Amino acid sequence: MVVGNLYEAWVQGVKCIWNEGAVVFDGEERLREILNLVLEVQNATERMAEIEKSAPKALIREIMDLTFKKEPNEELGYSYGERMFDFKGIDQIQWAIDRLNRKPESKSASIGLLMPERDTKAQHIPCMVLVDFKKRDGKLNLTAIFRSHDFGKKTLPNLVALGKLLEQVSKATHSETGRLTCHSISAHIYESDSKLIQSII
């Protein structure tokens, strides 16, 4: 679904999952799930008042740290920032920027975030597994793929952080900011968050 801004994208995703999602279980916890939900956000860099009201500041800060800090999160044992900016000593974001600056039409500015040598032994596996940048018609577009995406709590802060990432890479590649596309393979809402969801829908 195509939407105008981050907040609208989140709300539309929540409504879709809650109204149309299948009931599945994560252990003993009941949730509603849609497979392969794709949101396309046209204006991904706008921080709206609705975002601040709907997502606790502490959670936004936590997700921002998870996205941009190179140090692993103590609870999860990983960070997206570590894997994007210091993947075995490689700054993959800078690599993508350099690649796009050399060849703006590149189709290969893709960054994988899984590390099998660690993740196959870990309790927590990263939810976001790939980010991809495409520059078309002077605009930079970002696609993020999540293997698992908690729309009740985490998705809105994730979208905010990705909007910030898109903004930073757009500046570094002398691009206008384009679309943010978020592909959630398992887009779900835990029914324990039902009160929050009812207040939204």
Three-state SS across the chain?
Answer: CEEEEHHHHHHHHHHHHHHHCEEEEECCEEEEEEEEEEEEEEECCCCCHHHHHHCCHHHHHHHHHHHHCCCCCCCCCCCHHHHHHCECCECHHHHHHHHHHHCCCCCCCEEECCCHHHHCCCCCCCCEEEEEEEEECCEEEEEEEECCEECCCCHHHHHHHHHHHHHHHHHHCCCEEEEEEEEEEEEEEEHHHHHHHHHHC
How much is the pLDDT for 107? 98
pLDDT bin (cut points 50, 70, 90) of residue 48 is confident
pLDDT digits (tens, 9 = 90+) for 145-156: 999 999 999 999
- Mean pLDDT for the stretch of residues 91-114: 98
Q: What's the rounded Cα separation, in Å, for the pair 161 and 20?
A: 27
Identify which of 127, 155, 144 has the alpha carbon closest to the alpha carbon of residue 183: 144
**C-alpha span between 124 and 23 (Å, rounded):** 23
Least Cα distance to 153 among 28, 22, 63 occurs for 63
pLDDT (0 to 100) of residue 74? 92
Catalytic residue among 93, 127, 156, 161: 127
Average pLDDT over the chain, rounded to whole?
95
Greater confidence, 53 or 69?
Answer: 69
β-bridge mates for residue 26, sequence order: 29
What pLDDT score was predicted for residue 200? Answer: 75
Delineate the domains of the chain, giving CATH numbers in brackets: 2-200 (3.30.572.10)
- Residue, of 138 and 193, whose pLDDT is higher: 138
Question: What is the structure's pLDDT at 95?
Answer: 98
With 80 as the cut, is the pLDDT of residue 21 above it?
A: yes
pLDDT of residue 103: 98
Query: Is 182 noted as a catalytic residue in this protein?
Result: no
CA–CA dist 185, 167 (Å, integer) = 24
Mean pLDDT of all residues in 118-141: 97
Give yes or no for residue 46 having a pLDDT over 90.
no
- % the chain with pLDDT above 90: 88
Q: Which of 6, 112, 123 is nearest to 14 (CA)?
A: 6
Going from the C-alpha of 191 to that of each of 27, 43, 139, 151, 194, the distances in angstroms are 13, 30, 39, 11, 5
Whether residue 114 is predicted with pLDDT greater than 90 in this model: the reply is yes
Task: Please give the Cα distance from 71 to 125 (Å, whole number).
Answer: 16
Tens-digit pLDDT profile for residues 162-180: 999 999 999 999 999 999 9
pLDDT at 194: 84
